[in-house]
Structure 1
């Protein structure tokens, strides 16, 4: 699916700039020696930023493949996987400390605003990650969104990530790619062993996941193990691309032997550790019940929102925003004839209306895919009304893998690689069509695809490489919610009032997340209390929110970033409108935010202030 062919900078031009060692967006005035750099051999702001980027990718080589930059002198990264062991964690800490010092010591007095922003982003991401890595357990993302206290659980771990990565992201275009694939398979047991080392360490500390998460994780791990015993999904990409690769059955046989004789036993060892955890697990869902749990949650909340908001403040703001949004939903519900009961109970009744349900089974799944395509076709045609600078996403809508569906959300999405060979994707959960309604699926599409995650990611792909790597939950999800708002403002629901309810319920759902996440991890809520809050207060579907709540238990704080980020973008827009008066321009503001790139919220505020000053 191709889109508007008016983007200012092609991906090929971007990569050419990266190959030259200079940021493609750096102006001539930015390319100068940084006198205070810790590494005098790296010249220019762009050179230093790219050096920092590749230092990180060397430790996380899957990211280089995802971005399409495992080429040339970095082609060896295509054969490697992340070191997940404690030693790998120590190496990450050392690299972050060294490169944070280099970024801080760089002379920024002569840099343009865009390059200064890139340094601000690095400093924020690296310092936050180092604070997280100082904690005694957990997975810490560097400028990412998936911070988890549990190394392996129902939605965390190589047993989930690698089969999807190898089947959808690792390229298989020629024999070299195939050999790199085999090399990565050979590295999988070590990756699983590294995770196991840290799992055992956490278990010995008393950091054990809730029992209900372990039930899910064990079921999924057993399924993955059963598949690995025959080669299964790990070997299938080689079989699917045999014609293109020009290889014979020998390569597949080699891969199958690696999987069945080495990967399967490593998975079995992780499964045994999950069983060990299960023996001491409780049903307490929150971090407050784990060692150092309050400390971990405070950090995770900071990393997710890129603010210093405390749990009580997040909780109260969530309740306030929920009340405001329900105040907007009430008159629409009344117009539709739903006049009795709370907004939540009326939305529950609306959700049971057969007019808004998709058919069951494969017929309904096909109906959902057709519906999404129609909404993408409509919204992409509206983008010239919302942006001056347009991008051209290569976009696919894909079903979430069957083995992942149980622990996955209703959908997720993101941009493709910098070279455009890996498309942006909206992944849709179709384990049951009852997850979706005709009045809320349009809004979900705008969030995950256009103008949300896929659209925003295309702009990040034109920035210096380090900016394509570093993603911030509050900005990513805040922008995706702002994308929902843009769709509404562009007329998505002008003739479809019930669709407007779906959009407002989506925003209210994110306000509920602020309440529920802090409730679970700070206010000692139980799992059922969290599910009931969504269902009773917002009319959310039980089928949807049960998995949602489980996700908050394994990714503390992450759920709070959505509405915090959206509210901040809206607040910045109001500031710009007030400061600029008649000079304010809707499209120019949107450009200023998205072209500033994915950034912590304090850096976003600086970008908007610069836009106001120079507009």
Structure 2
């Protein structure tokens, strides 16, 4: 599979001609109807996902009650999600897209895509309703997501905020029990996580199972309420709720996970599950927003890996590394003097400080290649210790819509040896600027996008852009004084190519966990702990790892086409504005947007 669009179907190609003949007043009326529907759909979705309202800073006014609620994880809550998806699909399909303007058609196709994708995943009566087949794992479940949300996302400014926190803390116990009930349901249906995922889950649950006086969810409220002069009542109330409700629910969940562990096998991929092959294909399509088969993705990953290795080889030789495999020589870079921060809290703090410095440095160069730079603030943080065992190696969280909370880039620093200095800058450019935080910040601040579009995310687009952003960082000179950093940048590109190989290997070709880990260690020189955590992530969330390189290939192919067809008319700032100004879209729609922009400039 040499080209990323081999099996892509462009949405709305036939409608483009029809739009030319649609009267302007008809398009305006259809656009107004679509805007009203979008607002309605967005508000409906917020009602079922109260955490989203808080994350966006929209838990106020008519949605003020959502600040004290959490998502309903029960069977009734899952049924409500399915019903809402089908009802929203019905209303979207009732509109005539041929009457829409070109811009509204992109918005329509994008929102419709999200509901169709959700409906495809909701057909499977197991997991959390998304692309993970497991409701509880080292990466999934309220036991690890809700405490982090309450600690870092729920605001405490007033007594009302603190009371809402207490209400959510009570609801958290209900989420735990709902997850436990769903786990029992899934296991009865033959959906059992692999033993190694359950082992990590139990480890994290053990770290979360602490007395009230040391529990993050209690200490967070106590400290923040005190800082706001709200008194000691909230700390006492939180401790009571935690001790009487949360801990017993966590005990019940731990007991159930232990019971399930006794039935688990070591098979890593979802091929072993009932409907496993069909589920993987659905999850792969949902994450990548392409129509590629697992076999095509696997071949694509191998081809990309060969091309990137050919670029790395001369750089390794130039660095004096001439003996051993590519992976062995990359691994040797980890051991060079000055590359590793001490594996202490002080050393990890120094690594975070270095990352924040890189984030500040790259921001000054962005106007060279972008017309707009988001005004939001961003910062780098360490993953909380209690989540390090199963958390991703690095990830990003968007700022609030109003900018009252900054965007965060998190590094998993469980073992500093996994993060040599030459690897850190590229990850900052990917997760921060000009990657996720840049793209996400522009989407949130884009006044031309309806709110529902600002808050939609697609892994193929987002991860593809972030990987492309690593390339842009190189092109604007962020590695000019850091030759080893260039190797780190290419290593990360190779890492994303190999992800396509190992994800499809695990879930389609029935690779073992050990074979997948060995692929990373041998081909990439990864530390065994890093490789293990990454592979376990793919086992818990199949398909998502493939979205990076497929998305990157789409952006790169569109840019190459623009350069070839526009010649002297080509301006990289204009190109970036075209592919970012449309907001987050499926890769199929990105192809359409890019090609139409090229045609308009030719």
Do they superpose with TM above 0.5? yes
Does 1:268 find its partner at 2:251?
yes
Question: Could you tell me which of 219, 241, 244 is aligned with 1:258?
Answer: 241
Does 1:218 find its partner at 2:202?
yes
* CA RMSD, Structure 1 to Structure 2 (Å): 1.8
The aligned counterpart of 1:98 is 87
* Deviation by residue 1:493-522 (Cα, 9 ceiling, x = unmatched): 223221110000000000111101111111
2: CA distance, partners of 1:320 / 1:291: 32
Q: Report if the CA contact (8 A) 2:213-2:219 is conserved.
A: no
Could you tell which deviates more after superposition, 92-101 or 350-359?
350-359
Does 1:65 find its partner at 2:54?
yes
Distance apart, 1:67 and its partner CA: 0.7
The aligned counterpart of 1:151 is 135
Question: Could you tell me which of 165, 168, 171 is aligned with 2:155?
Answer: 171
Question: Could you tell me which of 192, 198, 204 is aligned with 2:182?
Answer: 198
Q: Report if the CA contact (8 A) 2:373-2:442 is conserved.
A: no
* Deviation by residue 1:365-391 (Cα, 9 ceiling, x = unmatched): 132122112211221011101101222
Does 1:586 find its partner at 2:572?
yes
1: CA distance, partners of 2:226 / 2:339: 44
2: CA distance, partners of 1:29 / 1:231: 63
Distance apart, 1:485 and its partner CA: 0.6
Distance apart, 1:33 and its partner CA: 4.2
The aligned counterpart of 2:12 is none
Distance apart, 1:110 and its partner CA: 5.0
* Deviation by residue 1:455-490 (Cα, 9 ceiling, x = unmatched): 111112133221233211111111110110100011
2: CA distance, partners of 1:359 / 1:191: 38
1: CA distance, partners of 2:421 / 2:235: 43
Question: Could you tell me which of 347, 358, 362 is aligned with 2:341?
Answer: 358
Within 5 Å, give how 1:468-479 maps onto structure 2.
468-479=454-465
Question: Could you tell me which of 453, 457, 470 is aligned with 1:484?
Answer: 470
Q: Assess, with a 3 A threshold, how the Cα gap between structure 1 residues 211 and 187 changes in structure 2: closer, same or farther.
A: same
Within 5 Å, give how 1:462-611 maps onto structure 2.
462=445, 463-611=449-597
* Deviation by residue 1:326-367 (Cα, 9 ceiling, x = unmatched): 000001111111112221121122222233222331332132
Distance apart, 1:109 and its partner CA: 4.2
- Helix, strand or coil at the partner of 1:69: coil
1: CA distance, partners of 2:406 / 2:337: 35
2: CA distance, partners of 1:381 / 1:92: 43
Q: Report if the CA contact (8 A) 1:100-1:122 is conserved.
A: no
1: CA distance, partners of 2:150 / 2:202: 22
- Helix, strand or coil at the partner of 1:89: helix
- Helix, strand or coil at the partner of 1:420: coil
Q: Report if the CA contact (8 A) 1:415-1:456 is conserved.
A: no
1: CA distance, partners of 2:561 / 2:410: 35
Distance apart, 1:49 and its partner CA: 1.0
The aligned counterpart of 1:613 is 599
Using structure 2 for the length normalisation, give the TM-score: 0.92
Using structure 1 for the length normalisation, give the TM-score: 0.90
Question: Could you tell me which of 356, 363, 370 is aligned with 1:380?
Answer: 363
The aligned counterpart of 2:380 is 397
Q: Report if the CA contact (8 A) 1:30-1:45 is conserved.
A: no
Does 1:293 find its partner at 2:276?
yes
1: CA distance, partners of 2:124 / 2:430: 33
Distance apart, 1:32 and its partner CA: 4.7
- Helix, strand or coil at the partner of 2:422: coil
Q: Report if the CA contact (8 A) 2:158-2:230 is conserved.
A: no
2: CA distance, partners of 1:29 / 1:170: 44
The aligned counterpart of 1:122 is 111
Q: Report if the CA contact (8 A) 1:61-1:80 is conserved.
A: yes
Distance apart, 1:132 and its partner CA: 0.6
- Helix, strand or coil at the partner of 2:396: strand
1: CA distance, partners of 2:170 / 2:391: 28
Q: Report if the CA contact (8 A) 2:295-2:504 is conserved.
A: yes
Q: Which runs of 5+ in 1 are unaligned?
A: 1-27, 36-42, 142-146
Q: Report if the CA contact (8 A) 1:218-1:274 is conserved.
A: yes
Q: Report if the CA contact (8 A) 2:30-2:100 is conserved.
A: no
The aligned counterpart of 1:9 is none
Question: Could you tell me which of 172, 179, 185 is aligned with 1:188?
Answer: 172
Size of the aligned set, in residue pairs, is 575
Question: Could you tell me which of 169, 191, 196 is aligned with 1:207?
Answer: 191
Distance apart, 1:95 and its partner CA: 0.9
Could you tell which deviates more after superposition, 236-245 or 429-438?
236-245
Q: Assess, with a 3 A threshold, how the Cα gap between structure 1 residues 185 and 231 changes in structure 2: closer, same or farther.
A: farther
- Helix, strand or coil at the partner of 1:440: helix
2: CA distance, partners of 1:476 / 1:113: 23
